């Protein structure tokens, strides 16, 4: 069996992909407008939930909602690998549960959820985001917080 050889990476395309991701992530942390970083047909997929959100405004609104309404949260970048038109990152979603999520009303619980995102970048904009571990991690932490009972011995 012979493996196909990969085309050499174009350093300019890798640099451009990194610039797009760096600017997008800075805007996400700053709670700035995200729509300008997405293509018209961008698709955000929450892989484990099987949920897709399509379109520039819908994706930007969904991300803003999670970070600013449902949670008061910010991502922490722990690792980012960038290639030609592709990137993958490990993040930690850190914040407070301030709105209904997955049928769980606001709990004011602190969350710290690791997750992974894979990005495709087309013509200087993000065209796909595939998120793994986010929804399931949040539900697990919120469910655990809601079912924790403190046992105080009688006195």
The per-residue pLDDT for 145 is 72
Classify residue 133 by its DSSP letter: S
Instruction: Print pLDDT tens along the chain (155 aa).
Output: 555 555 555 668 999 999 999 999 999 999 999 999 999 999 999 999 899 999 999 999 999 999 999 999 999 999 999 999 999 999 999 999 999 998 999 999 999 999 999 999 999 999 999 999 999 999 999 988 766 544 555 55
Q: In whole angstroms, how far apart are CA 57 and each of 31, 40, 65, 90? A: 15, 8, 12, 24
**Whole-prediction pTM:** 0.85
The per-residue pLDDT for 59 is 98
Cα gap 124→104, rounded to integer Å: 37
Task: Please check whether residue 112 is in contact with residue 94, taking contact to mean a CB–CB distance below 8 angstroms.
Answer: yes
Domains and CATH numbers, the chain: 11-147 (3.10.450.50)
Which tokens in the block code for residue 64? 């803003």
Cα gap 62→66, rounded to integer Å: 6
Which tokens in the block code for residue 7? 């085309």
The per-residue pLDDT for 154 is 57
DSSP string, 49-108: GTEEEESHHHHHHHHHHIIIIIEEEEEEEEEEEE-SSEEEEEEEEEEEE-S-BTTBPP--
Task: Please check whether residue 17 is in contact with residue 85, taking contact to mean a CB–CB distance below 8 angstroms.
Answer: yes
The per-residue pLDDT for 144 is 86
């Amino acid at each position: 069996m012979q493996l196909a050889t990969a085309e050499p990476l174009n350093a300019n395309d890798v640099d451009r992909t990194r610039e797009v991701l760096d600017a997008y992530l800075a805007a996400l942390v700053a709670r700035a407008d995200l729509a300008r970083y997405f293509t018209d047909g961008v698709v955000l997929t929450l892989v484990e939930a099987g949920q897709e959100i399509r379109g520039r405004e819908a994706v930007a609104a969904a991300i803003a909602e999670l970070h600013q309404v449902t949670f008061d949260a910010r991502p922490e970048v722990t690792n980012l690998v960038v290639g030609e038109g592709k990137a993958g990152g490990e993040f930690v979603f850190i914040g407070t549960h301030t709105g209904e999520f997955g049928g769980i009303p606001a709990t004011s619980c602190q969350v710290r959820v690791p997750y992974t995102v894979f990005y495709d970048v087309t013509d200087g904009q993000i065209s796909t985001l595939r998120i793994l571990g986010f929804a399931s991690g949040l539900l697990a932490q919120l469910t655990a917080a809601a079912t924790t009972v403190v046992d105080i011995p009688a006195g």
